Amino acid sequence: MPAMVEPPFSNPLFSSKITHNLKSVHCSSQAPNFLPIRYNSRTTTACSCSAENVDPAPVLLPHSIVFSRNPNLSSDISNRTTKDRREVVRLAWEKLVRWSRSWRSKAKTDDVLERTNKVVVLGGGSFGTAMAAHIGNRKSHLEVNMLVRDPQICRSINEKHCNIKYFPEHKLPENVVATTDAKAALLNADFCLHAIPVQFSSSFLEGIADCVDPGLPFISLSKGLELNTLRMMSQIIPRALRNPRQPYIVLSGPSFALELMNNLPTAMVVASKDKKLAKAAQQLLASTNLRISTSRDVTGVEIAGALKNVLAIAAGIVEGMNLGNNSMAALVAQGCSEIRWLATKMGAKSTTITGLSGTGDIMLTCFVNLSRNRTVGVRLGSGENLDDILRSMNQVAEGVSTAGAVIALAQKYNVKMPVLTAVARIIDNELTPQKAVRELMSLPQSLDCRLKKYEYAGFDLEYEIIHQRIDEQIQRRTPQSTNIHYDVLCKSFFSG
């Protein structure tokens, strides 16, 4: 290590009255970084004392000193730092790309799409049409049959290659055809995409059950809960088809049909208890414009997809009432917590609720005007009547019918859901949006909210028992000490 010599200014560590043995002075491990100074291309010392016995060495000064005394050098160092940072970013990106290519090259080449000859889409709505167009574009000689109820839509698809009701300006692929004959549509199908609204799914599937092959994989695009039975699609489809072993996959995530039709980048999730089945659906659907992730948490994906529609109505009400961005952020955050509370009680993974099919779908539905459920909420918040709103819409807003089912589920699993309960009461005309806001804002800021972080952290003890025991302890304490000791009490009780 080079010797450190006296800078050309007063330094309390060095004095002209002291004889310097500069060779014996070295930088300690705690010393700041130093830089050499060169003048006229030659390294010189900056010592005012005699240095006859000192070997020529560069002068080392702290960065801060060099910057202040040599602006050009400061600029050079700054530029060098920027280049170094950019180099780090470039190398990180190249490493990511190399990993991606390596992973793809090692992936199995068993491509489901190549072995698929026919796909049937049940329903002629906007999302079913968008998915039919997407699959049709994936493979030109793949037959895509859409089973529709409306003869006018059927003719428009077959003759004009467009869905005249939902996408009159978008041309469908030539290999997408429509029919009203269920038997013809389902014959020799390799995959079935179910895009019928949840409330009509049971009766529809019961009517075509005899035409469905027991091994035909169903990919559900429908989001919601059956109003009277509280069933999800993973329960509705096998029951309606009278086949508990019917292969089932759910597809969900932040996706508007219009943007899928415009081939804009989209990411979604397929979930199935059968890992191979989820992988097959991924290979069928994934493309350069549609990224598909896989999951085994069917309950989490389905319950998040159903409840986000109810929360979107609440977000729309806030928008329609012009309550501002603060209210919107608070409401959606509270709604996300309520969805997570119920979903985890039903067996879902919390990571699913905070992922693409949970938080991702919630953000899209709550904040974007293309959302049907959000539109219903905006109009409710503006003072319109629900019946008039629904009559004027040509698409189904699943959140309207799902709201009541959500509250029934919350009661079943003993979960408090104030925001989603308020939406259900507004829909039932038992509460006005204005009164709902006042009641939500006046809810007690109780200790229950803080208990949730322990209740949903995976502990097995019953919430009611813990709540009662903690209340008994709190009653013995002063109000000033309640907040201080609350976390300690929770931890002690949950630790046994």
- List pLDDT tens digits, range 174-212: 999 999 999 999 999 999 999 999 999 999 999 999 999
| Residues 274 and 290: beta-carbon distance below 8 Å | no
pLDDT above 70: percentage of residues in the chain: 74
Q: Specify whether the CB–CB gap between 65 and 31 falls below 8 A.
A: no
- Report whether 133 contacts 163 (CB < 8 A): no
- What is the reported pTM? 0.74
Reply yes or no on whether the pLDDT at 460 is more than 60.
no
Tokens matching residue 276 = 């191979």
| Amino acid at residue number 82 | T
Task: Please determine, for residue 154, whether its predicted confidence score (pLDDT) is greater than 50.
Answer: yes
Bridging pattern class, strands 34-39 and 42-43: antiparallel
User: For residue 245, what pLDDT band results from cuts at 50, 70 and 90?
Assistant: very high
Q: Are 365 and 373 in contact (CB under 8 A)?
A: yes
The pairing of strands 218-220 and 42-43 is unpaired
pLDDT tens digits, 7-24: 444 444 444 444 444 444
**What does the alpha-carbon distance between residue 57 and residue 5 come to, in Å, rounded to a whole number?**
9
Nearest to 31 by CA among 13, 53, 54, 57: 13
CA distance linking residue 421 with residue 408, whole number of Å: 10
Task: Report the pLDDT averaged over residues 416-430.
Answer: 93
Catalytic residue numbers read: 308
- The set of long-range contacts for 342-345, using a CB threshold of 8 Å and a minimum separation of 24, is 342/303, 342/307, 342/406, 342/409, 342/410, 342/413, 342/415, 342/417, 343/299, 343/300, 343/303, 343/304, 343/307, 344/456, 345/413, 345/414, 345/415, 345/456
Distance (Å, rounded) from C-alpha 332 to C-alpha 418? Answer: 12
Comparing 23-32, 133-142, 253-262, the range with the smallest average pLDDT is: 23-32
pLDDT at 341 over 50: yes
What pLDDT does residue 404 have? Answer: 87
